[in-house]
Amino acid sequence: MCVACRQGKPKKELIRIVRNKEGSVGVDLTGKAQGRGAYLCPSVQCLEKAIKSRALQRALECELTEEMASEIKRVILRREITG
């Protein structure tokens, strides 16, 4: 389920964001990385909504820096282009 729009979708259709033990946040392309995870639809709108509502921060139990958000956005845009 997407933390922003709350739509239930298969995990393969969502992007997993993970916070590892060290506290860094990134995109888990394999879906198997260890750490606390949250799922987002692969759209910039859902990312922006998740950040604005702090849903992503709550799910990951950490603050999301501008740099982390930019990296997630780059991956989403790349995925939108390549399909």
Question: pLDDT tens-digit profile of 37-72?
Answer: 999 999 999 999 999 999 999 999 999 999 999 999
Does residue 3 contact residue 39 with C-beta atoms inside 8 Å? yes
Instruction: List domains and CATH numbers for the chain.
Output: 11-82 (3.30.1230.10)
Q: Averaged over 20-32, what is the pLDDT?
A: 91
Q: With bands split at pLDDT 50, 70 and 90, how would you rate the model's confidence at 83?
A: low
Cα distance from N-terminal residue to C-terminal residue, the chain: 20
Token readout for 19 is 């916070």
Sign (positive/negative) of CA torsion 52, 14, 75, 43? negative
**β-pair type (25-28, 36-40):** unpaired
Q: Which amino acid is at 71?
A: E
Confidence of residue 80 (pLDDT cuts 50, 70, 90): confident
pTM listed for this prediction: 0.88
Cβ-in-10-Å burial (0-12, 13-18, 19+) of 19 comes to buried
Taking residues 14-33, report their average pLDDT.
Answer: 93
